[in-house]
Amino acid sequence: MRILVVGAGATGGYFGARLAQAGQDVTFLLREKRARAVQQDGLTIHSPHGDFHVQPNVIQASQLTGPYDLILLTVKSFGLEAAMKDIAPVVGENTMVMPVLNGMKHMETLSLRFGEHALIGGLCKINATLDAEGHIHQMTPLHQIIYGELSGEKTERILKVDQAFQSAGIDAVLSETIISDLWEKWLLLSSFGAITCTMRGNIGQVASAPGGTEFAQAIVTEALTTMKAFGYAERAAAVAKVREAVTDKNSPQTSSMYRDMTQGYPIEADQIIGDLVGRATRVGINIPLLQAAYTHLCVYQKNRELK
């Protein structure tokens, strides 16, 4: 397959580099500054599975020629509109667009722009970050990517996607329940984000503080109640894992949004928390803790803009 990876941050850079390392036909679509750096220095991955370096194909939007068979979207949610504009000329009749973004709002946005048939579901689980030199550091062995047809079918085209990812030396999973998987990833992300950003500490620190466990459980309940009102069919085992994860007193984990906040970076407040608040408001669900978390994040964003 002809694969276009949009973005080369910690997520896109890692999974795209793994595909390139496996010999897949991968091209990275990058903005000028990142494109220049990757063209010059390639992509360096520091991983518990072994460090490696690739010198991938890199282009900018003006150089795109298509169509591509698979477009892997790994931009931040606030970069989605620009990314859609960039890739539009190379989305052909048979192109699959696989977003690996946070939340659920992007699924509707992409479906409206390119048609539901073009869209396949995707999510990843990885703890990785970029350093000042643009190197990607995988901080734990976890490197899972999950994908599937929205219908749950095992079509010929999704089997080709599966074959490509299976070749890449990662934990690749073809899911027949990708919509449920996406809801549950959002439940985990929104809970982790609201807990760690509001309390300014990692999961273990919050859980160990007076009232911390109760706070974390209440955040999960608010998010879960909202998601169920919008179509999530609760899977008890998955929700239990989220509740366990957010109340682990020994957990050093934070959220990517918290890490971005502490470094003064832009955050996905609207997509991860704000969309939940908006949905709950529309149907009359009371979510005071998530509302407070969103207000806190909006204050951070406004202060950041003023600097």
> Mind listing the pLDDT tens digit for each residue in 160-179?
999 999 999 999 999 999 99
pLDDT above 90 for 129: no
- The stretch 119-142 carries a mean pLDDT of 92
Other C-beta atoms lying within 10 Å of the C-beta of residue 288: 9
pLDDT tens-digit readout, 228-250: 999 999 999 999 999 999 999 99
pLDDT above 80 for 307: no
What is the reported pLDDT for 27? 97
Instruction: Locate 114 and state its tokens.
Output: 């390119």
pLDDT above 80 for 306: yes
What is the reported pLDDT for 76? 86
DSSP 161: H
* Residue 42: closest CA among 60, 54, 26, 57: 54
Helix-then-strand count for the chain, H and E: 13, 10
- Residue 52 pairs in a beta bridge with 45
Location of structure tokens 């300014």: 200
* Residue 184: closest CA among 119, 129, 231: 231
Contact 147, 122 (CB under 8 A): yes
Assign residue 165 a region (left: φ > 0; alpha: ψ between -120 and 50; beta: otherwise).
alpha
- The stretch 282-290 carries a mean pLDDT of 98
For the chain, give the percent of residues with pLDDT over 90: 93
- The stretch 280-284 carries a mean pLDDT of 97
Pseudo-torsion of CA 24, 96, 160, 76, nearest 10°? 50
pLDDT tens-digit readout, 143-164: 999 999 999 999 999 999 999 9
The one-letter amino acid code at 121 reads: G
Chain centre distance of CA 301: 20
What is the reported pLDDT for 256? 86
Contact 120, 99 (CB under 8 A): no
d(CA 98, CA 123): 9
Which pTM value belongs to this model? Answer: 0.92
- The stretch 48-67 carries a mean pLDDT of 94
Q: Which residues of 168-183 are buried (b: 16+ CB within 10 A; e: fewer)?
A: bebbbbbbeebbbbbb
Other C-beta atoms lying within 10 Å of the C-beta of residue 206: 24
Contact 293, 194 (CB under 8 A): yes
pLDDT above 90 for 77: no
What is the reported pLDDT for 298? 96
pLDDT above 90 for 71: yes
What is the reported pLDDT for 127? 85
Contact 253, 202 (CB under 8 A): yes
What is the reported pLDDT for 62? 92
Instruction: Locate 176 and state its tokens.
Output: 């027949």
- Return mean pLDDT, the chain: 95
pLDDT tens-digit readout, 205-231: 999 999 999 999 999 999 999 999 999
